Amino acid sequence: MKERDELLNRLGLREAMLIHYDIRETNVRARTALNRFLFGRVDVKVVNGGRKRYRYPGLVPDAAEWVGQSVLLLDPDLADRVIAKLEELRAKRSVRTVYVPA
């Protein structure tokens, strides 16, 4: 493992996970839950006569890269969280290890 890490460092690469997922169009509950998990959400509530915004960040803006429709590039430890969420939602998925510039 150490030799592989040294080689990746020498080549200027890091390990990442490419995840493609597929949720049925008719499964609105699962699609909504996954979108909130990945992209976050903003709730606006009325508090004491004023409007208060609550921001719940998702993974993509901070820690993941959105490659395209239903395709994400993530660090391996973060990919585990996404895979667990996809399993929870019973979504089809394909996962590959790739090497990207560090």
pLDDT of residue 58: 85
The 10s digit of each residue's pLDDT in 24-44 is 888 999 999 999 998 899 999
pLDDT averaged over 10-residue windows placed end to end, the chain, 102 residues? 86 94 91 91 91 88 83 91 93 95 88
CA distances from 94 to 46, 54, 84, 98 (A): 42, 33, 13, 13
Q: How many helices (H) and strands (E) does the chain have?
A: 4, 6
Record the pTM. Answer: 0.79
Q: Write out the residue range of the structural domain in which residue 6 sits.
A: 2-101
CATH of residue 61 = 3.30.70
Domain count, the chain: 1
